[in-house]
């Protein structure tokens, strides 16, 4: 059941209407039933897997409440990651082993099992892990109700592709005393859903055909350097609008039920540094990786769990770990982050690329602090911000070549073409592709600047703001529904 389908809109309408018609005591049971139906809609056999995950993490949570049972977390991590490795990475590991054995022994050593990847497994595995770990850290209490834990893991708006919501953020909302329908929630939820649909069906799907053609095996070899830059930006916009659109539909669906999800995107391509980029892109994932992987790798204990984004730690915490440990933890974290997205060496390379960007940024920041550059300039000024953005954005876009290319050979070939001066003299695709990519880039920054201006609440906005908002939302609704007929799966569904 795709978010960008009429089937989902019907499902959501029925789920919301029945939810608000039921008494408080029955609502959690209804949400759990609807969530299980939503998940099993893809393939009912997956229901046994997610039910096993729920039961195991429920039991691990009860055991983790006893602080003396430190082994509980170790076993919980092993069980959750074991299932994830089996379903998501066994084919990759067998194929990689065979590739190595072909070089050495000229034959395969392992049979590739060709296991079907259960949808959403990367996301609900992280949800279950964070629940158990937060209990062991004393940040939340173990829940005695199996229904509550099951609903936390399966709640359908975040089940397939996030946002990755912490138990401490979500579970209390299931028990809120003020669980009455509010006009503000309905209005906000509908706005989020239709804006998300617009980003997906009109913008992301609108450029996907050009991107697919450019990365195709028979096309990329003839690409010019400008073609590859356009493809890097084109896919950067596609995955941003696709995933941000999904996240907004998820937020809107939850908001219709009176439940608030944390933001997952905040104009990431306006970031002034690689570090800030990951405070704006896939915020709930980067904060999860920070709290449950990056910080513990340095022998530190993460603070109160919160989905605020960024793989970074506080200054006082950095003083407790030496530079070598921080660098090692950063590289290892990003390698895992890359492989989390997919079982392919290209994703590992994408993770290493971002680790390199952050390490370069840290080195330059340290150097500028030592020679006093930051004291002589306004780091928050327009020129400094513009310069940082003009460096960070293309660097992030180049990384998408690794992410999107099907093989490392193709990815390195496309990146190498960017460095070939002779490859800048021609274009190979239709003019529409270059124009659309340019318009997406300009439109993004116009939207960002407009949002910043509206945040300052100019006088005229209070009087006339309803007019541009009405026009914009009317156009968004019409375009979203008009393009809803051609359904394309969300990119992050494969992860």
Catalytic residues: 341
| Cα–Cα dist 208/205, whole Å | 5
- Nearest-CA neighbor of 404 among 241, 233, 264? 233
Structural contact between residues 292 and 129, judged by C-beta atoms closer than 8 angstroms: yes
Q: DSSP per residue over 55-96, as a string?
A: HHHHHHHHHHTSTT-THHHHHHHHHHHHHHIIIIIHHHHHHH
- Burial bucket for residue 246 (CB in 10 Å: 0-12, 13-18, 19+): buried
Pinpoint the alpha helices (H) of 319-430: 323-341, 345-371, 373-376, 382-404, 408-418
Reported as type and span, the H/E element at residue 427 is none
> Shortest CA distance to 19 belongs to which of 152, 181, 211?
181
For residue 207, how many other CB atoms are within 10 A of its CB? 21
Q: Are 207 and 488 in contact (CB under 8 A)?
A: no
Which residues lie below 8 Å from residue 272, measured CB to CB, with a gap of 6+? Answer: 384, 385, 388, 389, 392
The span from the CA of 147 to the CA of 29, in Å, is: 7
Residue 310 host element (H or E): none
Distances (CA, A) of 3 to 10, 159, 488: 11, 12, 10
Give every CB contact of residue 147 below 8 A, 6+ residues apart in sequence: 28, 29, 32
d(CA 141, CA 218): 55
């Amino acid at each position: 059941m795709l978010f960008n389908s009429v089937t989902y809109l019907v499902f959501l309408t029925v789920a919301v209407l029945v939810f608000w018609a039921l008494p408080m005591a029955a609502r959690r049971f209804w949400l759990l039933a609807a969530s299980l139906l939503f998940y099993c809609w893809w393939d009912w056999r997956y229901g046994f897997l997610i039910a096993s995950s729920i039961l195991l993490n429920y039991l691990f949570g009860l055991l983790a409440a006893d602080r003396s049972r430190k082994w509980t977390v170790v076993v919980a991590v092993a069980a959750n990651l074991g299932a994830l490795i089996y379903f998501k990475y066994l084919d990759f590991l067998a194929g990689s082993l065979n590739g190595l054995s072909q070089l050495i022994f000229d034959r395969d050593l392992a049979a590739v099992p060709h296991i079907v990847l259960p949808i959403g497994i990367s996301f609900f595995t992280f949800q279950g892990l964070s629940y158990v770990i937060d209990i062991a850290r004393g940040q939340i209490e173990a829940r005695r109700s199996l229904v509550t834990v099951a609903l936390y893991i399966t709640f359908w708006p975040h089940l397939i592709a996030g946002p990755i919501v912490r138990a401490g953020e979500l579970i209390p909302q299931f028990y809120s005393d003020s669980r009455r329908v509010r006009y503000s929630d309905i209005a906000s939820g509908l706005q989020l859903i239709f804006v998300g649909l617009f980003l997906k069906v009109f913008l992301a799907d609108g450029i996907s055909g050009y991107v697919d053609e450019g990365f195709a095996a028979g096309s990329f070899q003839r690409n010019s350097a400008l073609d590859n830059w356009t493809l890097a930006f084109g896919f950067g916009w596609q995955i941003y609008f696709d995933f941000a659109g999904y996240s907004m539909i998820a937020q809107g669906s939850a908001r219709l039920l009176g439940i608030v999800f944390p933001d997952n995107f905040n104009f990431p391509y306006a970031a002034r540094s690689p570090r800030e980029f990951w405070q704006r892109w896939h915020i709930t994932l980067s904060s999860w990786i920070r709290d449950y992987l990056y910080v513990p790798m340095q022998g530190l204990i993460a603070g109160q769990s919160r989905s605020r984004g960024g793989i970074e730690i506080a200054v006082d915490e950095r003083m407790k770990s030496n530079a070598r440990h921080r660098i090692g933890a950063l590289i290892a974290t990003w390698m895992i982050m890359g492989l989390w997205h997919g079982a392919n060496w290209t994703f590992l390379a994408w993770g290493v690329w971002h680790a390199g960007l952050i390490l370069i940024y840290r080195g330059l920041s340290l150097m500028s602090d030592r020679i006093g550059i930051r004291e002589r300039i306004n780091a928050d000024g327009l020129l400094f911000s513009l310069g940082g953005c003009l460096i960070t954005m293309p660097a992030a876009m180049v990384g998408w070549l690794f992410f999107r290319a099907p093989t490392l050979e193709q990815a390195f070939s496309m990146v190498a073409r960017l460095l070939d001066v002779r490859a800048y003299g021609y274009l190979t695709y239709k003019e529409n592709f270059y124009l659309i990519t340019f318009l997406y880039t300009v439109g993004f920054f116009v939207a960002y600047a407009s949002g910043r201006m509206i945040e300052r609440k100019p006088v005229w906005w209070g009087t006339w703001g309803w007019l541009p908002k009405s026009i914009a939302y009317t156009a968004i609704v019409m375009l979203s529904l008009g393009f809803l007929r051609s359904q394309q799966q969300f990119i992050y569904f494969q992860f």
